[in-house]
Structure 1
Amino acid sequence: MNFHPNPSRLALRPLTLALALAFPALAAAQASVADEQAQDPKKIQTLEEVRVTDSAESSGYISKTTVGGKEPLSAREVPQSVSVITSERVRDQNAATVTEALNMATGVTVISNDMHQSQFYSRGYGMNVTYDGVPGGNLSGQQQLDLAVYDRVEVMRGPSGLFTGSAGSNFGGTVNLARKRAKHAFGLEGSVGTGTWRNHQASVDVTGPLNAAGTLRGRAVLALTDKGWSIERAHTRKQVGYATLDWDATPQTTLSVAAAYQRDRLRAGMSGLPAWSTGELLNISRRTNVSPDWNRTGWTHRWYTADAEHRFANGWKLAAKLTRWERDQLYHDAFPSSGVNRATMTLNYVRRHGEIADTRHTADVFASGPFHLWGREHRALVGANLDRFNATTYGHKWLRPWDLVPNVPFGQPNSISDFGGPFESGSQSADRQHGLYGQLRLRAAEPLTIVLGGRWSTYKTRSRRIAPSKPTEWQEGGSKSRNHFTPYAAALYDINPVWTVYASYSTMFTPLSNERVDGSTLDPREGRQFEVGAKAALLDGRALFTASIYDMRDVNRAMEDPSHPGFYVNLGKVRSRGADLELTGRLAPGWEVQAGYTYQNSKYIVDKNNAGMRWEFWEPRHNLKLWGMRHFESGPLQGLSVGLGVSAFSKTASSAFSPRRQGGYAVASLMARYRINSHWDVQLNANNLFDRTYYTRLGGLGTYNTYGDPRNFQLTLRAQF
C-alpha cells in the first residue's frame, strides 16, 4: 500500500453536483422585503442586522443551520439544542482545526487522544459527524480536515438518528461541517502568522466568478503549517488544499464539485504522559516528551464531493450529494506501556508499526417543499442515503520479545532503538448501511408547529484477513440490523414574535454483536431523549438565547445473562440528565458575545456491577464557556477590536476509583486586532493567559495523561480584497 499520495490526485474528478441560489426567487423576496419596510418602518431596523451573502455563508456569531435537518433553519425552528461556530468566531480566536472550534462550542468536551486527533463528548457520549448533511461516521478518533476548508461548524446535542441512522452510532450529538462555497463576487484573503514554539502558519483563499455572466464560479484555498509544540522535540508539517466549482446550469439548477487534500506529518509526537506505577500523576514539567526522536505518525486525506440541486416552480426542490473519502494513517513509534517505578525510576515501552487506509462512499438524495392542507401551508421532506465504509489495516504481530522494551530509564526515551521490517499481518473490514427517511413540518395552528419524522435503516458489517496474513473469506459480523425504525417527534409553540418553546423526542440506535443463549444477536442499543426548552430572538433578532433540559436513556445495553454465563441479554440501562444555556449575538453596537453553560449528570441505572454509579468521568458536570468581543468603530480607538474569553470546568477523573483526578479549573484567552486600513489588519491572540496548569485528559498508567498547552501567543497579519 502506498501511503504517500500523488499530489495530482488533488485534481477535480468529473463528478457533477449541485447547490445554489435561486436568483429570480431572491430578487422577488428582496422586492417583497422592500414593500414591507415601506409599510412598517420598524422592520427596517430588524432587517439591517440580517447580513446575507451570495453563498449563504454565516456572518457574525449567528447563523442558520442545517444540522437539525437537510434545509437551512434558524435556531428557533430547530426543536433541539444547537450551536454554531461561525467563520467570524473562528477568525476572532484564530482557530485552525475542528478540535479548536469544538473547544468553543457549548456542551462539547474535547478529550485529547494524541497530537493529531481527539475525542468529542456531549451529554455523556461521543459524537457523530456529517459533511454538508451527509453522514460521515464517528467524529472521535479521526483527524478532520482543517477549518480552511469549512465555512462553519454546526453542533446539535443529543441523539440524531433521523438523517444519519447508525453511522457513528453515538448518542451525544452530531457535528455538521459546512464547506466553503464559491461566491458571486471576487474575494481574496490571505494571512501569515507566527507564534510560540515556532508555530508558523500561512493561508490564501480566493473566490469569484469565472465567466462574464457569473454562472460559473470557483474558489481555491491553500493553508500551510510548520509547527512546534509545547512539548520538547515534537514538530508538525501540514499542507491543506481545497478547490470547488459551482455552475448554474439553468436558473433553476446548480451543480457543484469540490476536492480537498490534507497531509500531516508529526515527528517525535506522543499520546500523553505515564503515571506512577502506583497510579498517581507524575506532576512533572509540561515540556516533558517521553517519545524517542524516531517516532513518526501521520495522516493523509483526500476528499471528493459533488452535489446537484434543482428548484421547481412550485417551491419544491430535489437535491443529491455524492462523497468519497480516502484517509490514510501511519504510525511508527514507541510509547510507555507501564507506569514509572518509584524505586528504579524505570518503565516499560511497546514499539509498533502499521498503516490504516480507509475509504467511505456516501450518497444522499432528498426532495422537499411545501404543500397545503386544512387551509395552511406545511412542509414535507423525503429522502434516502447509503454509506459504504471500508478499512484496510497492515501491521506486525504484537507482543513479541522485540516489541517490548522493558526497564527504560525515565527521561531517556532515545535509548530505545528504532526498528523495522515488513508488515506481517493484514485485515479488512466493510460496513454497509442504507436507509429511507422522511419528515413533516405541520403548521397545526398559527403559533404551533408539529414535526414528525422517521427512518428505516439497514446495517451490516463483515471482515476478513488479507496478505501478509493468511487470506480468508469474508465473514459476516455479528453487528447488524434490518429495517430498524428510528422515530422523531417535536412541537414548537411561538409564544410571541420573540419567544418559542419546544419539546422533542429523538432517538438513535447502535447495532450489537453480543449473542443470546439461543445463538441470536442482541437487539440494537437505543438512545432515547426527551428535551424541552425555550428560544428567544432578542434585540430584533441580533441575539439568540436558548435554554433546555433533557432526559436521555441508553437502553437495551448488553448485560451478561445471569443464568447463562458467557451469553448476554438486553437489560442494561444508563440515564443522562442535564441542561444547556446559551446566549449568542450582538448585544449592542460593537459588542459580540457567545456564552454557554452546560450541566450533565449520567449514571448506570441497570448494570450487573455498576448500578447507581456515575457513567462518564471524562466529562465535567459543569462546563462554562464565555467569549466576548468589543469592536471600536469610532473615537480614538477606531479600528481596534478586543476579545476576552474564559472556559471553566468542574472536576474530572480517569475512572471511578482512579487516583488520577483533577479539580475544577478555568482557562482564559485574550485577543486584540487592529484594522490598519480597509484591506489589512494585524491580530494578536493569547491563550491560557494566566498559564494555568491542567490536563485535557486523564488516562492510564502508561499514557494519555495529557497536559493542556501553557501560555502561548500567535501574531497574524491578514489581508482582504
Structure 2
Amino acid sequence: MIPAFHAASALCLLGFLLVPSPALATTETDEAETVDELAQSEEQIVVIGVRQSYRGDFAISEIPQSIDVIDAVTLEENNLIRLNDALDLNASVARQNTLGGLWDSFAVRGFAGDENIPTGYLVNGFNGGRGFGGERDTAGIERIEVLKGPAAALLGRGEPGGTVNLVTKQARIGDTFGTFGAQFGSFDRIRSEADVNLAITDGLSARLIGYVENGDTFRDTVEEYRWGFLPSIGLAIGPDTRITYDLEKTRVEVPFDRGIVVLDGDFDTVPRNRYLGEPGDGDHIARAEGHSLRVQHDFNDRWNVLLGGSIRDTLLTGSSSDPELAVSRQPIFRDGRSLSRQRRSRVYDSRQVVVRGEVSGTFMTGPLRHRILIGADHDEFDNLQDFRRVRPPSVSSNPSEQAAYIIDILDPVYGRFPLPVPLPQNNRLDKQKSTGFFVQDQIELTNRLQVRFGARYDDFSLRTENYLTGVDSERKDDRISPQFGVVYEIADPVTFYAAYSEGFRANIGTDAAGRIFDPEISKSIEAGVKLTLMNGALTGTFTVYQLEKDNVLASDINNPGFSVAIGEARSRGVELDVNGRLPGDIHVRLSYAYVDAESRSSVLDPNFSFVIEPGDPLINIPDHSFNVQASKTFRVAGRAAKLGGGVQYVGERLGATGTDFFLPDHTLFRLFGEVELFDDVTLFGTVANLFNADWYANSYSQLWVQPGAPRTATLGFRADF
C-alpha cells in the first residue's frame, strides 16, 4: 500500500492529479449558469457557460425553493475532503448510517430514503449517488447545492426533503493553469492533489483532476487508502455549441467498522478509538467508474437545448465481523464485556444508465413573459447484492466463546479464533427502469410577481430476481406529480416565495418474503423570505415547511438487505441560511434548522418486537442544529492571509428505531487559516474539534454507534502555476 501511495504521489508531482486554487475557483450562487463562462479576445472563440440541468434561466432569488450553496472556497478553507463532512455546513442535513463508513448517507429535512443503499445525489444533474463507490471525495467539486424542498416535479425520484447536486469543475476552454497541493494531518494522514487545465487548441481543453490519500485513523488498526482521477474535456464548436465529457475513476480501501458499543446509556463503555471488528477480515474495497457526456447548444439568446447521458459502475466487496444485534444471541447484556459477532461478506455491484434532454426558452404572450422548461429523462439502475453471514447461536444454548465469535470489549485480543465462513443470506438482483417527462412554466405577471406551474409524469418498472429462493417479483406503476410556486418581490432586498409539490419514488427491493413495496408518495409545502442586503454582498433565506410521505421503509434488522414498511412519516420545521460578506472583508456563513420528523403510523416488528408509535422521532434526526463560521482576509508582511473559525451544534437524536436510546448533543469548534509564503505558494492549516469533544456521528443500534473524530489537525501547502 505504501509503495502505491508514493507512486501515485509522484504522478501528482508530474501534474496528473488536483486541488482548487482560490484565485481560480470562481463561484456564482445567483446565476443559472455555472462559473465557466470565459470571454476571450476577439480572435478566439467566445465559449458559453455550462448550463445547469433542470434549472432553466433563473437566478436563485427567482426560484420558489430554498437553495444553499457551499462553494469551492468554503470547502478549501475548511479542508473538507468528504461529502458528509461538507454537508455538515448546512443544518438541514443530518448524518445517517454510513454502512461502516463505506457510503454517503444523509437526510435532508428529516427524510433519508432507503437505508439499504447510499443516499442519492446528483452530479451535474445526473443521478450519481446510488452506487457503492465509497464515500464521495470533494476533489473536483466546484460547488455543492443543497436543493431543499419540493422539487419532485422536475427532478423526480428524489426525497421530498431535498436533493444534493454536485457541480464539478469543468475544462476551461482556451486557458492553461494548474494547482498542486499536499497536506499532512493527524494520525499520519498524507494527501496530495493536483488540478491541471490544458488548452489544447482554441476550442478544445482538458482538465486533469486527481488525488491520492493514505494514512491511519483515530480507530485502532483501521487504515485507509483512496485515490481518484476525475478529468474533464471541453470542446467548443463555434460560439453556440459546447460538448463536455467527464470521467470518474475512484477506489477506496478501508476496513469495515461498525464503531463502538454503548451499554446502559454509558457512552464511556469503551474508548472511542476501540475497534471491535476483526483486522484479519482485511479491507473492504469500493470502486467506481463513471462516464458522462453533455451537449449544450444555444439557438439564440432566448432558447437552448441540453442533451446528456451517463453510465456509472460501482463495486463493493469485503468481509467484516459485526456485533450481533439480537438480544437472545448477545451475551454482553449479561456480563457487560463478551460481545458476540456475526461474520459477514458482501459483493454489491451496481450499474446506472441515465439519458436526459431538455429545452428551455423565453417567449411572450401579450404583456406576460414566460420562461419554460420542457424535458425528459430515462434511468436504469441494476443493483446486485450477494450478502452472506454466519450468526452466533442463542445464549440459552451456552455456546463456547469460539462458537459465539466473542471479543472482549474491555480487553480485545484479535485473531483468537478461525474466521467463520459466512453462508448465503441474500443474493438478489433489482432492476429498476423509469422514464419521466416534465414541463415547467414560470410566468411574470408583473415586474415583482411571478408564478410557476409544473408537472412531471413518471413511469417505472421494478423487477427483483432472488437467486436463493428462485422467486422473481415484478411491479409497474406510474404517476403525475404536480408543482406550483409563487415568487413576489416585496421590495428590492426582500422576496417572498411559496411552493407546493407532490412526489413519487419507487421503493427498490423487497421484503424478506419477496414482496415489492408500494411506491413512496409525498406531499410538500413551504414558504419563505429571501433577503439580499448590502448590494448583494449578503444573502439569506428563512423558510417554514411541512412534508408528508406514505409507504416509508426501514431496514429489516433480522434480514439484512431487506426492508420493512413503517407506513407514514411527517417532517416540519424552520430554517435560516445566511451567507456573504460583511464590512471589513469578513465572510460569514450561518445555517440553523429546527426539524420535527416523526412516524405517523403504529408498527410492531415481528422479529424483535420493537414498537413504532405515532409521534416517535425518526432515527438520527436532531430537533435543533446549527453551523456558523466567520473568516477575515488581511495582509501579513505584504502577503495575503486569512483566519477563521466555526461552531457546529447538533442536538440529541434517536439512536435506534423503536427504542429509547438517544445520542447526546454535541458542540464542535474548528479553526482554519492560510498565508501566502511566496508568489503563488500558500501555506494552510486547520484544526477540527478544537476542544477534543466526545461526539457521535450516527448510530443504528446501541451496539453500532459511530464515534466522531477527536481533535484533528492538518498542515499543507498549495502551489499555483
C-alpha distance in structure 1 between counterparts of 2:357 and 2:644, whole Å: 42
Q: Does 1:316 align with 2:306?
A: no
Q: Does 1:195 align with 2:185?
A: yes
The structural deviation recorded for 1:345 is: 2.3
C-alpha distance in structure 2 between counterparts of 1:404 and 1:365, whole Å: 57
C-alpha distance in structure 2 between counterparts of 1:511 and 1:389, whole Å: 12
Aligned pairs (5 A) from 1:40-439: 55-56=36-37, 69-71=54-56, 73-113=58-98, 114-126=100-112, 128-136=120-128, 138=130, 143-166=134-157, 169-184=158-173, 185-211=175-201, 214-267=202-255, 269-276=256-263, 281-295=267-281, 296-313=283-300, 315-338=302-325, 340-341=332-333, 343=335, 345-396=337-388, 398-399=390-391, 405-410=404-409, 411-418=412-419, 426-439=427-440
The structural deviation recorded for 1:595 is: 0.6
TM-score, normalised relative to structure 1: 0.82
C-alpha distance in structure 2 between counterparts of 1:68 and 1:312, whole Å: 17
TM-score, normalised relative to structure 2: 0.82
Q: What SS does the corresponding residue of 1:291 show, helix, strand or coil?
A: coil
Task: Flag the 1:137–1:508 CA change in 2: closer, same or farther, 3 A.
Answer: farther
Q: Does 1:707 align with 2:707?
A: yes
Aligned AA (1:719) = A
C-alpha distance in structure 1 between counterparts of 2:426 and 2:450, whole Å: 56
C-alpha distance in structure 2 between counterparts of 1:404 and 1:384, whole Å: 55
Q: Corresponding residue for 2:673?
A: 672
Aligned AA (1:438) = V
What does the per-residue CA deviation read over 1:466-516, in whole Å, with 9 as the maximum and x for residues that have no partner?
Answer: 5xx58x58x3434x322x00111100011222111101112212346999x
Of residues 373-382 and 214-223 in structure 1, the stretch that sits farther from structure 2 once superposed is: 373-382
Task: Flag the 1:154–1:638 CA change in 2: closer, same or farther, 3 A.
Answer: same
Q: Corresponding residue for 1:481?
A: 477
Contact 1:65 1:75 in 2 (8 A): no
C-alpha distance in structure 2 between counterparts of 1:556 and 1:418, whole Å: 39
C-alpha distance in structure 1 between counterparts of 2:362 and 2:227, whole Å: 44
% identity of equivalent residues: 19
Q: Does 1:455 align with 2:456?
A: yes
C-alpha distance in structure 2 between counterparts of 1:663 and 1:314, whole Å: 54
Task: Flag the 1:385–1:678 CA change in 2: closer, same or farther, 3 A.
Answer: same
Q: What SS does the corresponding residue of 1:626 show, helix, strand or coil?
A: strand
Gaps (5+ residues) in structure 2? 1-6, 8-27, 39-48, 113-118, 394-400, 555-564, 604-610
Gaps (5+ residues) in structure 1? 1-6, 8-46, 58-63, 560-569
Q: What SS does the corresponding residue of 2:76 show, helix, strand or coil?
A: helix
Task: Flag the 1:433–1:98 CA change in 2: closer, same or farther, 3 A.
Answer: same
Contact 1:448 1:494 in 2 (8 A): yes
Q: Corresponding residue for 1:567?
A: none
Task: Flag the 1:701–1:532 CA change in 2: closer, same or farther, 3 A.
Answer: closer
Q: What SS does the corresponding residue of 2:697 show, helix, strand or coil?
A: strand
What does the per-residue CA deviation read over 1:663-700, in whole Å, with 9 as the maximum and x for residues that have no partner?
Answer: 33210000121111330110110000011111112331
Aligned pairs (5 A) from 1:478-557: 478=475, 480-482=476-478, 484-511=479-506, 524-555=519-550
What does the per-residue CA deviation read over 1:161-205, in whole Å, with 9 as the maximum and x for residues that have no partner?
Answer: 123322xx4222100011110113211011000010011100110
The structural deviation recorded for 1:378 is: 1.8
Aligned AA (1:222) = G
Of residues 229-238 and 98-107 in structure 1, the stretch that sits farther from structure 2 once superposed is: 98-107
C-alpha distance in structure 1 between counterparts of 2:429 and 2:500, whole Å: 37
Of residues 84-93 and 290-299 in structure 1, the stretch that sits farther from structure 2 once superposed is: 290-299
Task: Flag the 1:223–1:456 CA change in 2: closer, same or farther, 3 A.
Answer: same
Q: What SS does the corresponding residue of 2:419 show, helix, strand or coil?
A: coil
Of residues 84-93 and 114-123 in structure 1, the stretch that sits farther from structure 2 once superposed is: 114-123
The structural deviation recorded for 1:535 is: 0.5
Q: What SS does the corresponding residue of 2:73 show, helix, strand or coil?
A: helix
What does the per-residue CA deviation read over 1:352-372, in whole Å, with 9 as the maximum and x for residues that have no partner?
Answer: 223111100001100001111
Contact 2:570 2:599 in 1 (8 A): yes
Aligned AA (1:226) = N
Task: Flag the 1:712–1:380 CA change in 2: closer, same or farther, 3 A.
Answer: same
Aligned AA (1:458) = D
Q: What SS does the corresponding residue of 2:85 show, helix, strand or coil?
A: helix
What does the per-residue CA deviation read over 1:626-676, in whole Å, with 9 as the maximum and x for residues that have no partner?
Answer: 01111004x768522101000012212314764532433210000121111
Contact 1:505 1:530 in 2 (8 A): yes
C-alpha distance in structure 1 between counterparts of 2:350 and 2:194, whole Å: 29
Q: Corresponding residue for 2:615?
A: 613
Contact 1:317 1:369 in 2 (8 A): yes
Q: What SS does the corresponding residue of 1:88 show, helix, strand or coil?
A: helix
The structural deviation recorded for 1:285 is: 1.3
C-alpha distance in structure 1 between counterparts of 2:550 and 2:111, whole Å: 14
Of residues 611-620 and 247-256 in structure 1, the stretch that sits farther from structure 2 once superposed is: 611-620
C-alpha distance in structure 2 between counterparts of 1:395 and 1:153, whole Å: 33
Aligned AA (2:312) = W
Task: Flag the 1:98–1:76 CA change in 2: closer, same or farther, 3 A.
Answer: same
